[in-house]
Structure 1
Amino acid sequence: MWWIVAAVAAVSLWYWLFIRPHKYWLERGVKPVTSGFLMGDTLRAFLRQQSLADMVEMVYKTSPNTRYTGSYQFFQPILLIKDPDLIKQITVKDFDHFLDHRNVFPEDSEPIFSKNLFSLSGKKWRDMRSTLSPAFTSSKMKYMFTLILQSGEQFVNYFLKKDENFITVEMKDTLTRFTNDVIANTAFGVECDSLSDRNNEFYLMGKEAINFTGFWKNLRFFGLILMPKIAKFFKLTIFSKDVSDFFTNLVTSNIQSREKHGIVRPDMIHLLLEARKNGLKHDEKQLVQDAGFAAVEESEIHKDPKNTKLKITDQDITAQALVFFFAGFDSVAALMCFMAHELAVNPDVQKKLLLEVDETLDFCKGKITYEALLGMKYMDMVVSETLRKWPNAVVSDRVCTKAYTIEPKFPDEEPVHLDINDAVSFPVYGIHRDPHYYPEPERFDPERFNDENKVNINPYTYMPFGAGPRNCIGSRFALLETKTLFFYILSHFELVPVEKTQIPLVLSKTQLNLSSENGFWLGLRKRCKI
């Protein structure tokens, strides 16, 4: 009889561990419920049979004409919010119920990582966001613009010095070197030229910091997510000791040198030091009326002078500089890669943008200004459409921090009760490619964002930088950096397809971030100006 008892126990344990978790939403009246065996909806992405973006779009389409659907990431139940009005309700109107992001890694897995703005929660996040918010206004972006210009000039001069009419490049490698140099210059106070000096220490350490490929790195990465207690016992961290020590020592020595010698640079470290010393104030008046359609507005709660002035430590400054690096190194480079690809395969779009570049260059007498760059309407339309079709954050999330009920709106709905720590997500990639909001979503059409059409776009169907008070603090910087580089490139070159250009582009199944399966191979053809 013992084997019968053992079999019953094994089946019961199997049910409790692997089957019951996937009944979470069904028990709460959420239908239909999408599910995948063991790994939830992430199974095919985990097995590298599907890109993360394609997975998000697949789940989004699974239950059409519903405001939400149940999904699972591994064994974690996540409510997928599809309705723009409900997204607004959760991210803005009822934000106090959904303050935090889902913390994928345990808080003490990495001292630097746990202190960055994205990872902080509750009051710690509110205080840090309010403290940092004034450093990302338009006047502060203009303050750092000169450093971005230096990197843009350096980038284009590298190719001009080759004195060749046609140059074939893999854009991902090339553009990550540009974003590396911009971040090194603007966030860490270090000048780099990663195209000429391809193995400089900053670039190599940056590549190492975002590299999660390979068996042992994948094991460490998923171990931190799935088995945080075991990971903690074995002292597994997100970054290697070399990476952590490099960035910590870099920022600490930089701060010490500036304070000792009174050095002032128009960069992020200086702004953070000013915030620590005197605090920063929000600009009452923006220098430019509109930084771009995709730029997110800072919530009023971050501008409230009553919010606590946070004491900023050197480690806090290191953490913010490092997350700035993470966001800027790969994500902004990816935006640039997709934009370059779309311009190359849509020559009619590129022709219009080239005309605007030439007109702006003439207007500025050969030297681009901050105001002139942000006044380029078609440039902004192209960037906005790139972010619509290829949003880097293919999905965004929030964690329920106070019990919440989604009231029924239609006859087939029931009240959905969310408990503390329940997670909701917003399928940005799926919404951006929904033909109900964007007809012919696969077509690259910047005219969606012209003056006549953009006023009809629901803000909660366009979320490349998130939504609500917890949106991306660096949207203005990312847009400024992207527009600056393309202004310099298109002033001298046209982007054209080459034999290795993948048309149509297929998303990589092996990378977590949005990327092309076969890289971004394009040609730079020198322009003949009359």
Structure 2
Amino acid sequence: MEYGFFEVFVGLTVLIIALYYYLTSNFDFWKTRKVAGPKPIPLFGNFKDIILGRIHIALQVAQFYNEFKNEPMVGIFAKSSPMLILRDMDLIKDVLIKDFHVFCDRGTFSSKKDPLNQNLVNLEHERWRPLRNKLSPVFSSGKLKEMFYLMVDCADHFERYVEKIAEKPTITECRELTAKFTTQTIGVCVFGLDTNAIADENSEFRRFGRAVFESSFGNILRRILRDFAPFLFELLGSLKFNSRMGFFVKSMTETMTYRRKNEVRRNDFMDLLLELQDQPEQMGNMDVNDRFLIGQAVVFFATGFETSALTISNVFYEVALNQDIQEKLRQDIETQLEKNDRKLTYDCIKSMTYLDKVIKGPRTLIQYHNP
């Protein structure tokens, strides 16, 4: 049976209209509930630039947040799924505290077949909660005090490196500089590994850290597959990870093997991960194998060095622009060091109140200067 041009045209038109309706049928979700928000577009919702790697999700959400200053909440769409940006403090407290049991899932895809993907960022609440409870002790003040001497060693190394850099008549990218420091600190304090990230320009750990967050074609492709075709994301296992993931997995595997064989304990994050295998009954239905443990290490390493590096580099930038704040900060640090016989300790850092205000940002500084 042959179809003429008119029949084919009508068929394609109907197909396009049906597809458009399918992609936009949920776009009146917030409108009917009288919640303001930016206009979504088919297929992408409000996340087109995020999915295509043109803007970081934090910057995009900040734009939506600032665009609707007089609204208690902002309705947006991830593809066709409705999402809320809360601006009202009472609503935020309800979601994070009072009604947390209702809003507890992470909102991201978690592959149950891939242990490396089963981490605190991706897991649903049923598996996230026991894992979070087991990993939380690493953030206690006691643990930080035990590791503080290692942080000081890394800081001394970083200081010597910065002095050498300052002698050169070249422009220095502080974002890269601080990332080297935090990569080294996370490697030494958390995993007991000397990543050599500060002095070695070709450190594999630093190169791995860069690759995780860069807007490369591979990273964008993985993000698109994960969001739009999770079934295909599952099938193409080799595409899911950065090419440097093999180095990280190998390093973590060797470290775990060495510690088990030689019964080495450092009371760090790696020891805590190994303890999870000794208490499988407390981990519910999770298979706590080596790849699962490495999955936690990957996320801890990536998010640990990146967030700290960004914070420190932003502080560098702000104190460079505000010389008066820089001088007050220097005086605060010097005063506390003098009180502590010029020894940098955990308690000494805690006593540096102005340093705390500088790191927390402009709002706390304004409150400090205008009580």
Q: What is the TM-score when the length of structure 2 is the normalising length?
A: 0.86
Deviation at 1:82, TM superposition (A): 1.9
Whether the 8 Å contact between 1:132 and 1:275 is mirrored in structure 2 is no
For each residue in 1:186-236, what CA deviation from the matched residue of structure 2 results, as whole angstroms up to 9, or x when unmatched? 22221133232111222223333x144333432232122211123333335
| Number of the residue aligned with 2:337 | 361
Whether the 8 Å contact between 1:36 and 1:43 is mirrored in structure 2 is no
| Number of the residue aligned with 1:34 | 38
Report the CA distance shift for 1:163/1:269 in structure 2 as closer, same or farther (over 3 A): same
Structure 2, unaligned runs of 5 or more:
1-5
For each residue in 1:46-78, what CA deviation from the matched residue of structure 2 results, as whole angstroms up to 9, or x when unmatched? 567766444323322444433223211233221
> Are positions 1:333 and 2:309 aligned together?
yes
> Are positions 1:201 and 2:204 aligned together?
yes
Report the CA distance shift for 1:195/1:23 in structure 2 as closer, same or farther (over 3 A): same
| Number of the residue aligned with 1:96 | 101
| Number of the residue aligned with 2:131 | 128
> Are positions 1:213 and 2:215 aligned together?
yes
State how far apart, in whole Å, the 2-side matches of 1:44 and 1:335 are: 24
Amino acid paired to 2:26: P
Deviation at 1:322, TM superposition (A): 1.2
Report the CA distance shift for 1:110/1:211 in structure 2 as closer, same or farther (over 3 A): farther
SS at match of 1:252: helix
Report the CA distance shift for 1:196/1:224 in structure 2 as closer, same or farther (over 3 A): same
| Number of the residue aligned with 1:83 | 88
Whether the 8 Å contact between 2:116 and 2:291 is mirrored in structure 1 is yes
State how far apart, in whole Å, the 1-side matches of 2:56 and 2:277 are: 42
State how far apart, in whole Å, the 2-side matches of 1:163 and 1:55 are: 35
Amino acid paired to 2:256: I
Report the CA distance shift for 1:452/1:147 in structure 2 as closer, same or farther (over 3 A): same
| Number of the residue aligned with 1:272 | 273
| Number of the residue aligned with 1:263 | 264
Deviation at 1:339, TM superposition (A): 0.9
Report the CA distance shift for 1:314/1:229 in structure 2 as closer, same or farther (over 3 A): closer
Report the CA distance shift for 1:54/1:205 in structure 2 as closer, same or farther (over 3 A): closer
State how far apart, in whole Å, the 1-side matches of 2:233 and 2:166 are: 53
Amino acid paired to 1:102: G
**Following superposition of structure 1 onto structure 2, how do residues 71-470 of structure 1 map, counting pairs within 5 Å?**
71-103=76-108, 105-108=109-112, 110-114=114-118, 116-161=119-164, 164=167, 168-208=171-211, 210-235=212-237, 237-240=239-242, 242-274=243-275, 277=278, 308=282, 312-385=288-361, 444=362, 446-450=364-368
Deviation at 1:32, TM superposition (A): 2.7
Structure 1, unaligned runs of 5 or more:
280-306, 386-443, 454-530
State how far apart, in whole Å, the 2-side matches of 1:11 and 1:271 are: 54
Deviation at 1:331, TM superposition (A): 1.9
Q: 1:55 aligns with which of 26, 37, 60?
A: 60
Report the CA distance shift for 1:371/1:275 in structure 2 as closer, same or farther (over 3 A): farther
SS at match of 1:30: coil
Amino acid paired to 1:320: Q
Structure with greater proportional helix content: 2
Deviation at 1:352, TM superposition (A): 0.5
Deviation at 1:11, TM superposition (A): 4.5
SS at match of 1:6: helix
Whether the 8 Å contact between 2:36 and 2:73 is mirrored in structure 1 is no
Amino acid paired to 2:20: Y
Amino acid paired to 1:330: E
Report the CA distance shift for 1:108/1:313 in structure 2 as closer, same or farther (over 3 A): closer
Deviation at 1:137, TM superposition (A): 0.7
- The number of residues matched between the two structures is 363
Whether the 8 Å contact between 2:186 and 2:304 is mirrored in structure 1 is yes
Whether the 8 Å contact between 1:109 and 1:236 is mirrored in structure 2 is no
State how far apart, in whole Å, the 1-side matches of 2:166 and 2:29 are: 63
SS at match of 2:313: helix
RMSD over aligned CA atoms reads: 2.9
Structure with greater proportional strand content: 1
State how far apart, in whole Å, the 2-side matches of 1:47 and 1:112 are: 24
Amino acid paired to 1:265: R
For each residue in 1:238-289, what CA deviation from the matched residue of structure 2 results, as whole angstroms up to 9, or x when unmatched? 313x53332233222212212222323243212333565589xxxxxxxxxx
Report the CA distance shift for 1:211/1:96 in structure 2 as closer, same or farther (over 3 A): closer
Whether the 8 Å contact between 1:188 and 1:250 is mirrored in structure 2 is no
Query: Structure with the greater relative contact order (CA < 8 A, sep ≥ 6): 1 or 2?
Result: 1
> Are positions 1:14 and 2:14 aligned together?
no
SS at match of 2:70: coil
Whether the 8 Å contact between 1:68 and 1:81 is mirrored in structure 2 is yes
SS at match of 2:234: helix
Whether the 8 Å contact between 2:24 and 2:80 is mirrored in structure 1 is no
Amino acid paired to 1:14: L
Amino acid paired to 2:179: T
SS at match of 1:36: coil
Amino acid paired to 2:11: A
Report the CA distance shift for 1:214/1:249 in structure 2 as closer, same or farther (over 3 A): closer
State how far apart, in whole Å, the 2-side matches of 1:9 and 1:163 are: 66
SS at match of 2:101: helix
SS at match of 1:206: helix
